[in-house]
Amino acid sequence: MGLQNSEMRATGAGAIAILIWASLSLLTVWSGKIPPFQLVAMSFLIATLLGLAMILIEGLNPRLWRLNGRAMLLGVAGLFGYHFFFFFALRHAPALEASLVNYLWPLLIVLFSALLPAAHQQSGLRWWHITGALLGFSGAILILFVDAEKGAGSFAGQNWIGYLAALVAALVWSTYSVASRLFANVPTQAVTIYCFFTMIGATFAHLMFEPTIWPASMSAWLAVLLLGLGPVGGAFYFWDAGMKRGDVRLLGVLSYFVPLLSMLLLITAGISSPDPLIWVAAALIISGAVLAARDKLFRASTPHRKS
């Protein structure tokens, strides 16, 4: 029972990360015209400071001194690598199609979970896990098309490098997420180190590829602060706990709530217009999540017999 409760808490932490990520689009719009890598660098600076503050409050975990090179490589490659390839994709392919390719990562998390060693797996991969992930992916596709502007690009051959980068981004994030399970003994405080090196990498990428544009107003500065505390920074601490000790497959499917909640936030803020297809997408995503959680819902609804 204790292990089950621990898994539920960790899954809840991962779900918090998903809820936080839903604010990414809205906060990015509010931040103004800051170039992508500059925004990542600024956000991860805040995330690093957040992690240092947490360490000061909690005390340094002794296991952090034993952080091995493989865990370090995985963390930095996951955080920086994902953002680098995703933003590269957006620069070399239409945003809609690049996002569609990138949103393979929740499905890949579900599939890659079957590759974990037996000691790190929760149970075998079942049809309802895959079907739930496919339903969620269908819902995400609908939302992305609803959000697309008229005249969006097509999967043209000249954009192949952008699509390839989007696929690499999806592979990087799903691999990082699932492989984190192999380093469950590495404390979440290590994410502070990953955030620091991601900030350094994003700064170099910014200086190489972008002009520097600072926030134009106090509200834009506030949006940058909230990005660092939330979707481009702080959320990764919650995601680390979820991937290491939570239900990896369920979190993979729940990740499809990100574009749905993001769209609802944009509609509420008056930035996007409502569309009836949103509710179809919501039904697909919710159905996929319920189906993916089938075994847990069934187990929870089954009364325990006293021996």
- Write the secondary structure of 179-190 as one string of H (helix), E (strand) and C (coil): HHHHHCCCCCCH
- 144, 103 Cβ separation under 8 angstroms: yes
Average pLDDT over residues 96-118: 82
pLDDT at residue 38 tops 60: yes
Query: Quick check: is 283 in a domain?
Result: yes
pLDDT at residue 220 tops 50: yes
Q: What are phi and psi of 28, to 5 degrees?
A: -65, -45
pLDDT in tens, 234-287: 899 999 999 998 888 889 888 988 888 888 888 888 877 777 878 888 888 888
Query: Quick check: is 188 in a domain?
Result: yes
What is the pLDDT confidence band of residue 303, given thresholds at 50, 70 and 90? very low
**Hey, what are 178's tokens?**
């699932």
Using DSSP's 3-state secondary structure scheme, residue 302 falls into coil
pLDDT in tens, 92-104: 887 777 887 888 8
Query: Quick check: is 220 in a domain?
Result: yes
Closest to 165 measured CA to CA, from 88, 219, 231: 88
Using DSSP's 3-state secondary structure scheme, residue 22 falls into coil
Q: Where are the beta strands (DSSP E) in the chain?
A: none
Closest to 48 measured CA to CA, from 88, 18, 75: 75
Query: Quick check: is 306 in a domain?
Result: no
Average pLDDT over residues 283-293: 82
pLDDT at residue 1 tops 50: no
pLDDT at 126: 75
Average pLDDT over residues 136-148: 76
pLDDT at 84: 92
Average pLDDT over residues 143-161: 60
Query: Quick check: is 307 in a domain?
Result: no
Longest dimension (CA), the chain: 69
Average pLDDT, the chain: 84
Which residue is it, tokens 């706990």?
A: 241
**Radius of gyration over alpha carbons of the chain, in Å?**
19
Of 24-28, 116-120, 148-152, give the lowest mean pLDDT range: 148-152
pLDDT at residue 124 tops 70: no
Of 41-55, 70-84, 247-261, give the lowest mean pLDDT range: 247-261
- 163, 93 Cβ separation under 8 angstroms: yes
pLDDT at residue 223 tops 90: yes
Query: Quick check: is 208 in a domain?
Result: yes
Query: Quick check: is 177 in a domain?
Result: yes
Question: 12 lies in which domain range?
Answer: 2-301
Report the distance separating Cα 202 and Cα 196, nearest Å: 10
- 177, 248 Cβ separation under 8 angstroms: yes
Query: Quick check: is 136 in a domain?
Result: yes
When comparing pLDDT for 189 and 303, which is higher?
189
| CA distances in angstroms from 136 to 75, 145, 252, 307, listed in the order given | 26, 14, 10, 40
pLDDT at 306: 40
Closest to 163 measured CA to CA, from 116, 78, 226, 93: 93
pLDDT at residue 299 tops 60: no
Torsion angle defined by CA atoms of residues 221, 223, 224 and 229, in that order, rounded to the nearest 10 degrees:
130
Percentage, residues of the chain above pLDDT 70: 88
pLDDT at 272: 74
Total domains in the fold of the chain: 1
Q: What are phi and psi of 213, to 5 degrees?
A: -130, 115
pLDDT at 194: 95
Of 39-53, 82-96, 203-217, give the lowest mean pLDDT range: 82-96
Using DSSP's 3-state secondary structure scheme, residue 306 falls into coil
